[in-house]
Amino acid sequence: MAKKKATKKVAKKTTKKVAKKTSKKVAKKVFKKPAKKVATKKVAKKVVRKVATKKVAKKVTTKKITPVKAPKTQSAEVINSRIPKVGDKAPLFTLPDQNGNLVSLASFLGTNVVVYFYPKAMTPGCTVQACSLSDSKADLEQAQITVLGISADPVKKLKQFEEKQKLNFTLLSDENHKVTEDYGSWGMKKFMGREFMGILRQSFLINKEGTIIHVMHKVDTKTHHQDVLEIFKRLG
Give the list of residues 6+ apart from residue 178 with CB closer than 8 angstroms, or none. none
The whole-angstrom separation of Cα 120 and Cα 118 is: 6
DSSP string, the chain: -HHHHHHHHHHHHHHHHHHHHHHHHHHHHHHHHHHHHHHHHHHHHHHHHHHHHHHHHHHHHHSPPPPPPPPP---HHHHHTTPPPTTSBPPP-EEEBTTS-EEEGGGGTTSEEEEEE-S-TTSHHHHHHHHHHHHTHHHHHHTTEEEEEEES--HHHHHHHHHHHT--SEEEE-TT-HHHHHTT-EEEEEETTEEEEEE--EEEEE-TTSBEEEEESS--TTTHHHHHHHHHHHH-
The answer to whether 184 and 150 have CB atoms below 8 angstroms apart is no
126 labelled catalytic: yes
- Whole-Å CA distances, 83 to 2, 119, 128, 212: 131, 17, 25, 11
Catalytic, out of 126, 150, 172, 228: 126
Annotated active-site positions, please? 126
